[in-house]
Amino acid sequence: MSTPARILVVDDTPSKVKLLADLLAVKGYDVVTAASGAEALEQVASSHPDLVLLDVVMPGMTGYEVCRRIRDNPATKILPVVMVTALDPAEERIKGIEAGADDFLTKPINQPELLARVRSLLRIKSLHDQLEESNRTLEQRVADQVEQLERLSRLKRFFSPQLAELILSGGAEDPLKSHRREITVVFLDLRGFTAFAETAEPEEVMSVLREYHAEMGRIIMAHDGTLERFAGDGMMVFFNDPVPVPDPAMRAVRMVLAMHARLHTLIAQWSKRGFELDFGAGIAQGYATIGAIGFEGRLDYGAIGTVTNLAARLCGEAQPGQILISKRVLASVDEVVEAEPVGALPLKGFGKPVPVFNVTALKV
């Protein structure tokens, strides 16, 4: 058998308290009483009622003050409170709502109305209590998953919402574990940014970076790229990890072309403000070791390998507006993009000159 709801009746007139208490007790409620505001607050703290019937006019502390104190207490802020008064109902109802009351009854009390409102408010409180109980039962399971969720939630900074949700739902293995995979890596940055940052006001530099990061971030997410890092104007993005995607090289090229198109507009706007900036990018494809990099308390998600070095070198060699790609990337996208040979470039860290190509457009 369920425990009956407990109702606190507060009124400084004993006869009225007894009348309400007897009425509610007959209906199966557990009733406690108080004859003043101070006593009411003591009963709220000790008896833990499920609902309070609170008279407005009492000596010392009015019902409104009692209601406000109930609302100010985090432990009782959702406790249902019904104000009861014989004063002007229109004016007192406004005061009651301002004090935080859930409902309002005028004297003499209509018994069916009283019982109906009590049942309604108790039903709402019961639903809230059930929700709180459900939340408590989840605490242990949540505690068991906190460590994993904390590590995986960090990946939301790097992945598109779709990939982040797939990881968090268990649709992909823990990407923080070190693993090998073939990926397509993109490095990009703004040409002329160092000179711009040295001469512009800090507010102007931050304004440009906010616009740049916001626009590039949207495009990265739209193409399911993984943001490995960004530092100032430089970004590293890769594809095919933590979740394999079809045609990673094509995705990378399409993403950079979309960036190039958006930056064409931004660069024109920046130029009108006197900021001489442009854009360059490098794309390479190959195997890398991927996973958590760092130390306890400061871990990032990164990729290490020749492919990342090659993409970075290509980005460094790119002239303003160029998108330089490796021969391996070209082999994956040559049917759908137009590219022109740049030649074999000597790149730092590579023993032989590397054949390089500049992407100019998608084929019609």
Give per-residue pLDDT as tens, 165-182.
666 666 555 656 778 889
**Pairing assessment for the beta strands 226-231 and 234-239 based on DSSP bridges:** antiparallel
Residue 171: the pLDDT is: 57
327: left (phi over 0), alpha (psi -120 to 50) or beta: alpha
pLDDT at residue 170, rounded to an integer? 63
Per-residue DSSP letter, 4: P
Report how far residue 343's alpha carbon sits from residue 324's, in angstroms, rounded to the nearest whole number.
11
Show the domains of the chain with their CATH numbers.
6-133 (3.40.50.2300), 173-362 (3.30.70.1230)
- CA distances to 68, 75, 222, 237 from 344, rounded to whole Å, are 78, 72, 33, 24
Residue 247 — very low, low, confident or very high, per pLDDT cuts 50/70/90? very high
pLDDT tens per residue, range 289-340: 887 776 666 556 678 889 999 999 999 999 999 999 999 999 999 989 999 9
| pLDDT reported for residue 301 | 67
d(CA 233, CA 217): 12
Evaluated on CA atoms 54, 55, 58, 64, the torsion sign reads positive
Q: Which of 26, 40, 30 is nearest to 5 (CA)?
A: 30
Q: Which residues pair with 33 in a beta bridge?
A: 9
- What number of residues does the chain have? 364
Question: pTM of the predicted model, to two decimals?
Answer: 0.56
Q: How far is it, in rounded angstroms, from Cα 43 to Cα 48?
A: 7
Task: Tell me the H-state helices in 62-190.
Answer: 63-72, 89-99, 111-153, 161-168
Residues of 306-343 as b/e, b for ≥16 C-beta within 10 angstroms? ebbbbbbbbbebbeebbbbbbebbbebbeeebebeebe
Predicted confidence band of residue 287 (pLDDT cuts 50, 70, 90): very high
pLDDT for the residue 143: 67
Beta bridge partners of 238: 185, 226
**Count of Cβ atoms closer than 10 Å to residue 170 Cβ:** 10
At 97, the pLDDT band (50, 70, 90 cuts) reads confident
Supply 172's token pair: 């992909």
The percentage of residues in the chain with a pLDDT greater than 90, rounded to a whole number, is: 55
Residue 214: the pLDDT is 92
123-133 average pLDDT score: 82
